[in-house]
Amino acid sequence: MKANAFKVGVCACLLVCWSCMEGTNQSKVEQLSFPVTSPLVVDTVYTKEYVTTIASLQNVEIRSKIEGYIEAVLIDEGRAVHSGQTLFRIGGQRYRQELNKAQATLKSARSEAKTLELEIKNIRHLVEQKIVAKTELEIAESKLETLKARIEEAESDAANAQLQLSMTEIKAPFGGVVGRIPNKVGSLVDEGTLLTIVSNNQEVYAYFNVTEKEYLDFTAQNEINRRRPVTLILANGQPYSQRGIIETIDSQFDKNTGNIAFRAKFPNPQQILKNGASGKIQLTNTIKNALVVPHKAVFEVQDRNCLYVVDAQNKVSIRNVQILQRLPQLYVIESGLDKSEKILYEGIQRVAEGDVITPQFVPMRQAMASNAKN
């Protein structure tokens, strides 16, 4: 009995001590005071950058259409040319001879046809007088038909020879700037050999890709047909002096990336932008009724964005949130948080899940203003 009484006494003492310790810890946590705030709902704008590739309005490879030696190079690399200007001349003696031959054959065929037409006229007269048989006239007319076919063939050969000769002079298809010239005077070129590239850079295209969600947001704001202005950031980090406009959107999404291509056009009066250049497109977007929280209230747990929410009993709990956009000092929250909830503003390293705190509410505008001063 004494042993049982002793055990009961010990348990009672332990229970009292544990209760005292828990009360002490709970009192300690409750004594911790932290600033809390609520998300702010505002209309805001943000700028997002997209990697872009610059393409000339026209960028065409100039290739030889015939075989031969380059007889003359009439332009220089990097020089401006106008539409129809002769750029190269390929030796055309062979093609000139072929043209002369074709023209001579055509002339001979036409002469023969003219002589035969006179013969047919005489034969027809003799047939009418029944001096010769009608079959003689039919034979002569058949020969004339054959000769006319030869004339058509000779005309075709002459036209082809004329075309071949015209190809010995390579002309600019439009006004632009000449690129590299890999083959110089005296080089033997084949049909299809690259001679140079002509680029029309008076205006340039800038292609960039956006996600399907961004594309849907863009269409929801009725921006597709508004020719929305955009800014180009050059490879050196400086903004391009001319503003561009979004002209068109691709007809389909890339099945590998899930993105869709936008095309903006920029004027290029000083020819600064070149085909193949790189840069970034800055696109300014508007968010209506954006739910924003301070940067310092958000932390990461296993690649997830989290913050501490304080409930009506001042108990702290971790909440996963989806971030729509990062702004200076603020995050725009896409989901996971309501505007009426309270969040821990400072001291996130000093609390844990389930702690009870003493909150000090600070309106977010006041908190951000104070933070900016500091």
Reported as a single tens digit per residue, the pLDDT across 80-130 is 999 999 999 999 888 888 888 888 988 988 888 888 888 888 888 887 888
What is residue 233's predicted lDDT score, i.e. its pLDDT?
A: 95
**Arithmetic mean of pLDDT, 193-203:** 95
Nearest-CA neighbor of 211 among 50, 8, 14? 50
pLDDT in tens, 229-268: 899 999 999 999 999 999 889 999 999 999 999 999 999 9
Q: How confident is the model at residue 215 (pLDDT cuts 50, 70, 90)?
A: confident
The residues, any chain, with a CB within 8 Å of residue 213's CB and separated by 6 or more, are none
Q: What does the DSSP 8-state code read for residue 240?
A: P
What is residue 139's predicted lDDT score, i.e. its pLDDT?
A: 85
What is residue 7's predicted lDDT score, i.e. its pLDDT?
A: 44
For the beta carbon of residue 317, count every other beta carbon within 10 angstroms: 11
**Arithmetic mean of pLDDT, 269-284:** 92
Higher pLDDT, 64 or 224: 64
Cβ(339)–Cβ(291) under 8 Å? yes
Per DSSP, helices labelled H in the chain are 2-31, 93-128, 134-166, 212-220, 364-373
What is residue 269's predicted lDDT score, i.e. its pLDDT?
A: 92
Strand, helix or coil for residue 171: strand
Chain centroid to CA 219: 18
Q: How confident is the model at residue 141 (pLDDT cuts 50, 70, 90)?
A: confident
pLDDT at 373 over 70: no
Cβ(189)–Cβ(204) under 8 Å? no
Higher pLDDT, 197 or 3: 197
pLDDT at 195 over 90: yes
pLDDT in tens, 309-322: 999 999 999 999 99
What is residue 135's predicted lDDT score, i.e. its pLDDT?
A: 85
The identity of residue 85, as a single letter, is Q
Higher pLDDT, 370 or 251: 251
C-alpha span between 52 and 127 (Å, rounded): 83
Locate CATH 1.10.287 in the chain: 92-167
pLDDT at 342 over 60: yes
Cβ(233)–Cβ(49) under 8 Å? yes
C-alpha span between 311 and 250 (Å, rounded): 48
Locate CATH 2.40.420.20 in the chain: 32-44+289-373
**Assigned fold of 65-90+170-192:** OB fold (Dihydrolipoamide Acetyltransferase, E2P) (2.40.50)
pLDDT at 305 over 80: yes
Exposure string over 19-53, b if 16+ CB within 10 A, otherwise e = eeeeeeeeeebeeeebebbbbbeeebebeeebebe
Cβ(288)–Cβ(43) under 8 Å? yes
Both structure tokens of 107: 């002339």
Nearest-CA neighbor of 200 among 65, 34, 62, 318? 62
CATH number, domain 48-57+197-287, options 3.40.30.10, 2.40.30.170, 3.40.50.300, 3.40.640.10: 2.40.30.170
Which is it for strands 86-90 and 169-171: parallel, antiparallel or unpaired? antiparallel
pTM attached to this predicted model: 0.66
Looking at 51-60, 81-90, 156-165, 255-264, which range is the least confident one? 156-165
The residues, any chain, with a CB within 8 Å of residue 77's CB and separated by 6 or more, are 178, 179, 180, 181, 196
pLDDT at 17 over 90: no
Q: How confident is the model at residue 374 (pLDDT cuts 50, 70, 90)?
A: low
CATH architecture of the domain covering 92-167: Orthogonal Bundle (1.10)
Class of domain 32-44+289-373: mainly beta
C-alpha span between 150 and 236 (Å, rounded): 67
Q: What integer best gives the mean pLDDT of the chain?
A: 85
Looking at 20-24, 185-189, 223-227, which range is the least confident one? 20-24
What is residue 2's predicted lDDT score, i.e. its pLDDT?
A: 42
Locate CATH 2.40.50.100 in the chain: 65-90+170-192
What is residue 277's predicted lDDT score, i.e. its pLDDT?
A: 94
